Amino acid sequence: MTHATAIRSSLQDDSVAYGFWLTLPSSGVAKTILHGHSGPSAKFSWVLVDAEHGLISDHHYYELCNSIGSENASPIIRVPFAEDWMIKRALDAGAHGIMTPMCHNEVDAANIVKYSKYPPLGTRGYGPMFAPHSMPGVNPGPEYDNNINDGVTVCVQIESRAGVENVEKIAAVPGIDVLFIGPFDLSKMMGVTRGGDEHEAAIKRILAAAHAAGKKAAIFCTDGSDAHKRVVQGFDMVSITTDVGVFRNAMLAELKVANGEATSNAASRGGY
């Protein structure tokens, strides 16, 4: 039996898996967004805990994973680099999935799978004393140990010209679950305009390669309309936006209203 994490269930259902980027090391921020959904019929099934570019590091992982897991969403930790010890630390703290930046070829991809799985499939070292705490209903011991190789969601970022050129071979690597596009690095690494023809052609190639190999395709989006466009295009998993992006935009929009430069179109609020 595979652990039915929120992200795994959502991807298996063939429904779109919506998530957002957490760059601040704050359970309060994560839970404020996740807790008690009222409004949209869709819900967030995952949160990307960004230890590559966010202000999050190793010692924040455990608390963040538990807070996110307690809201029936999956913490996916983006480690700073695809190294075995970084992936091990993320999984041992309770990540339901890992994401690695800059997967350039099938050798990178095979190593990432190897670091994410216990023997005989891989080389993950053993010591999951804390890992099941973020997985409601999963007991420590054999229940976690015997199922986590299949339960962990392995996401690799395709965000370089080499990654695109090798994407069919990357997608074919057993144990890779999700090809996750980083559109900003992709444009910079390819030396092309973000949103231009070459960039969009690369994105389409990654999407097609993932699906041809029976894998899932995901992409980082800047806002809801960007995400909607990608859902219509056929992406299985989209990150809507980032915590700090939303805070800044919303705060500046309210400042404009207060200053008389704009009229509010947000729902009026009666409290904090």
Binding site for ligand 3PY (CB under 6 A): 157, 159, 182-185, 220
- Give the SS3 label for residue 240: strand
Nearer to ligand 3PY, 115 or 220 (CB): 220
Using CB under 5 A as the binding rule, whether residue 83 contacts Mg ion is answered as no
Q: Is 145 in the site for Mg ion (CB under 5 A)?
A: no
Residue whose beta carbon is closest to Mg ion = 182
Burial of 80 (0-12, 13-18, 19+ CB in 10 A): middle
Phi/psi region, residue 234 (left: phi>0; alpha: psi -120 to 50; beta: rest), is: left
Q: How many C-beta neighbours within 10 Å does residue 172 have?
A: 15
Gap between the Cα atoms of 109 and 38, Å rounded:
39
Q: How far is the CB of 235 from ligand 3PY (least distance, A)?
A: 14
Residue 182 interacts with Mg ion (CB under 5 A): yes or no: yes
Binding mask 104-143 for Mg ion (x = CB under 5 A): ----------------------------------------
The reply to whether 63 sits near Mg ion by the rule CB under 5 A is no
Segment near Mg ion (CB under 5 A); pick from 11-19, 171-179, 185-193, 247-255: 185-193
Rounded CA-CA distance 190/214 in Å is 26
Q: Write out the two tokens for 47.
A: 């949160």
Among Mg ion, ligand 3PY, none, partner that 166 touches (CB below 5 to 8 angstroms by kind): none
Is residue 185 a contact residue for Mg ion (CB under 5 A)? yes
In Å, what is the CA distance from 263 to each residue of 165, 246, 250, 256, 260? 48, 19, 13, 8, 7
Please, what is the minimum distance in Å from the beta carbon of residue 11 to ligand 3PY? 19
* Amino acid letter, 76: I
Q: How far is the CB of 93 from ligand 3PY (least distance, A)?
A: 21
Q: Is 163 in the site for Mg ion (CB under 5 A)?
A: no
DSSP designation for 242 = E
CB of 257 to Mg ion, least distance (A): 34
Residues that bind Mg ion in the complex, under the rule CB under 5 A: 159, 182, 185
